[in-house]
Amino acid sequence: MKHQTCLIFNPVAGQGNAEQDLEEIKSLLSAEIDLEIIITTAECEPGQLAKDAITRGAKSIIASGGDGTLSAVAAALMSTNIPLGVISRGTANAFANALDLPTTIPEACESIVAGYTQVVDMAVCNGLPMVLLAGIGFEAETVDLADRDAKNRLGMLAYVLAGLKQVGNLKQFEVEIELEDKIIAVSAAAITIANAAPATSILAQGSAGVVFDDGMLDLTIVAPTTPLIAIATAFDLLSSTLRGTASQREEVGFLRSHKFKITTTPPQKVVLDGEIIGMTPIEIECIPGGLTVFAPLTEEIQPLEKLEGLPNLKIELKT
């Protein structure tokens, strides 16, 4: 018996042919799934469309579009136990890559039809749902520079060019990181707190082992003092990520916790799942098992921690 599913389809995502993509999705899913198809518009926010579908009794939701569409629908499904099917058609496909989900339409549809589900974590940052990561400093400034027009024209190259431009404006700031048992003070150029992160988000990859279903958040501190050191550090993070090993550079530190409170001097921009949400301070907490997704089986990764070598590092144990 077919089960009722709502497909939320963003026609302006990515650079492909939306009509052809939709027809392909329908042909691959309709034999097994009773699809209600909702097309997003500028007036119809994907998250609200997902909530409306739940009210109508949808047993699962499929989202097809870019990372913004996928994150918005995931946020609407947080803590509902309603499975999310992910069909990525965006510029970066960070959402699917971070959760080890298929990134092509045929493979994504095959995974959804198979019906295997996996429970993954989410987080809440300053009251806003988070699936992937929050970035402070360098990453937030880079996202701010990579405007929508540039991303539409250049794809991932827009982020690369914005990052290169931002290296020339590299600035350190003072950070206080409060955990449940201690307070850490340090200088940094970028702070990234990840629930899940694709390999391309190198500033989140200090430990090269962000785990998205362990009830913990992974924080990476990047603290280069010059543009040249910043480039060397970025290359090391990329290389260590590709090797699957943790970075050993003194300019990189990483730690894990269920929640963080982060204050910076001066205040810094904050990017949350690819969107600028304001300035520090932030409070961020993991929501274990907050999202259910249709997914293939994945291997477990062993997480790590390292802080030694960071500039102006001070650790105060809380009593």
Look at residue 299 in the predicted model and tell me its pLDDT. 58
Look at residue 21 in the predicted model and tell me its pLDDT. 94
**In the beta sheet, which residues pair with residue 3?**
33
Q: How confident is the model at residue 163 (pLDDT cuts 50, 70, 90)?
A: very low
High-pLDDT (> 90) share of the chain, %: 50
Look at residue 20 in the predicted model and tell me its pLDDT. 94
* Homologous superfamily assigned to 3-115: Probable inorganic polyphosphate/atp-NAD kinase; domain 1 (3.40.50.10330)
Asked if the domains at 3-115 and 128-288+298-317 fall in one CATH topology, the answer is no
Is the per-residue pLDDT at 123 higher than 80?
yes
Sign of CA dihedral 224, 229, 231, 232: negative
Q: How confident is the model at residue 156 (pLDDT cuts 50, 70, 90)?
A: very low
124 close to 285: Cβ distance less than 8 angstroms: yes
User: Per residue in 63-106, pLDDT tens?
Assistant: 999 888 999 999 999 999 999 999 999 877 889 999 999 999 99
Q: Where are the domains of the chain?
A: 3-115, 128-288+298-317
User: Per residue in 74-85, pLDDT tens?
Assistant: 999 999 999 999
Query: Was domain 128-288+298-317 assigned CATH 2.60.200.40?
Result: yes
- DSSP single-letter state for residue 152: H
CA–CA distance, 213 with 197 (Å, rounded to integer): 12
**DSSP string covering 192-251:** EEESS--TT-GGG-SSS---TTSS-EEEEEE--SSHHHHHHHHHHHHHHHHHT-----TT
Nearest in space to 126 (alpha carbons), one of 269, 285, 256? 285
Look at residue 141 in the predicted model and tell me its pLDDT. 58
CA Rg value for the chain: 20
- At 57, the amino acid letter reads G
User: Per residue in 279-298, pLDDT tens?
Assistant: 999 999 999 999 999 988 65
124 close to 130: Cβ distance less than 8 angstroms: yes
Sign of CA dihedral 75, 79, 82, 87: positive
Other Cβ atoms less than 10 A from the Cβ of 118: the count is 18
